Amino acid sequence: VLVTHDFARTVGTLSSFQNANDYLRPVNWVISSNVGHSPLLVVLSPNEVNTLPPVIRRSNAVHLCIYTPRTTKTMQACDNLRLYCVPSTPQLAPLEPLICQLNLFAAQLYFSSYEKYIHACGFLGLNAPDLGDEDLMVDSDGFVRENRPSRRASCLFESSQLPRLKELFGMRKKGMGYLPTHLGKMFNSRILTEEDFL
């Protein structure tokens, strides 16, 4: 998952009294592409969304999609990138690893399924029910540090990313509490079960 320079740069300069968190853009527009060796998601700024649609409509390589992170349990998930897509497409290629990263970057508070929760745990190297009762070396935040089982072998992190994610979520949520959410529970070392998704 990438962001454009325009998305990343929201203001020219900040005085020492301004808080950079106030200028953190929400993730609402994403370009998806499945051309080449690997799929790609690029987060766009509102300005780019206003200027690029004519070019995107003529393209067979990219699709502009609306994205909104799921912030309440009753909210419909938009992470399948099918809510609105230009040009329209019957079905996008599976982008699950990238969708997981996009959801974390955008501070999505609820997983749309138990499987997506397990996938996020695999990406972050966290202990989860899919590991069973294996004898694991797990940090206090759930990070599987040593002797990783094969189901966590894909995790590229050597240390827990939860402190950085907590900081990002704190900036995106602007101080609003999220402890009772799926991500709030995961950030506080609670292992979720299928009952949490009913």
Return the SS3 of 131: helix
pLDDT given for residue 87 in this prediction: 86
- The answer on 6 and 75 residing in a single domain is yes
Q: Which of 37, 65, 95 is the last residue of a domain?
A: 95
- The answer on 119 and 90 residing in a single domain is no
- The answer on 130 and 41 residing in a single domain is no
As for how many domains the chain has, the answer is 2
pLDDT digits (tens, 9 = 90+) for 113-146: 999 999 999 999 999 988 876 678 889 999 998 7
Kind and range of the H or E run holding 10: none
Q: How confident is the model at residue 96 (pLDDT cuts 50, 70, 90)?
A: confident
Does 103 reside within a domain?
Answer: no
Does 121 reside within a domain?
Answer: yes
- The answer on 40 and 10 residing in a single domain is yes
- The answer on 195 and 115 residing in a single domain is yes
Does 104 reside within a domain?
Answer: no
- The answer on 70 and 149 residing in a single domain is no
Does 13 reside within a domain?
Answer: yes
Peptide bond into 87 cis (omega under 30): yes
Alpha helices per DSSP H over the chain: 5-8, 46-51, 53-57, 96-105, 114-124, 162-173, 182-187
- The answer on 116 and 89 residing in a single domain is no
The neighbour count for residue 19, using CB atoms within 10 Å, is 10
More confident position, 155 or 165: 165
Does position 101 have pLDDT exceeding 70, yes or no?
Answer: yes
Domain holding 53, by residue range, is: 1-95
- The answer on 180 and 135 residing in a single domain is yes
pLDDT digits (tens, 9 = 90+) for 52-93: 999 999 988 889 999 999 999 999 989 888 888 888 876 666
Q: How confident is the model at residue 185 (pLDDT cuts 50, 70, 90)?
A: very high
Does 101 reside within a domain?
Answer: no
Please state the rounded mean pLDDT for residues 148-175: 88
- The answer on 175 and 113 residing in a single domain is yes
Does 102 reside within a domain?
Answer: no
Does 3 reside within a domain?
Answer: yes
- The answer on 149 and 196 residing in a single domain is yes
Structural contact between residues 109 and 69, judged by C-beta atoms closer than 8 angstroms: yes
- The answer on 88 and 168 residing in a single domain is no
pLDDT digits (tens, 9 = 90+) for 12-41: 555 544 565 566 889 999 999 887 778 899
- The answer on 136 and 54 residing in a single domain is no
pLDDT given for residue 18 in this prediction: 54
Write down the pTM of the prediction: 0.89
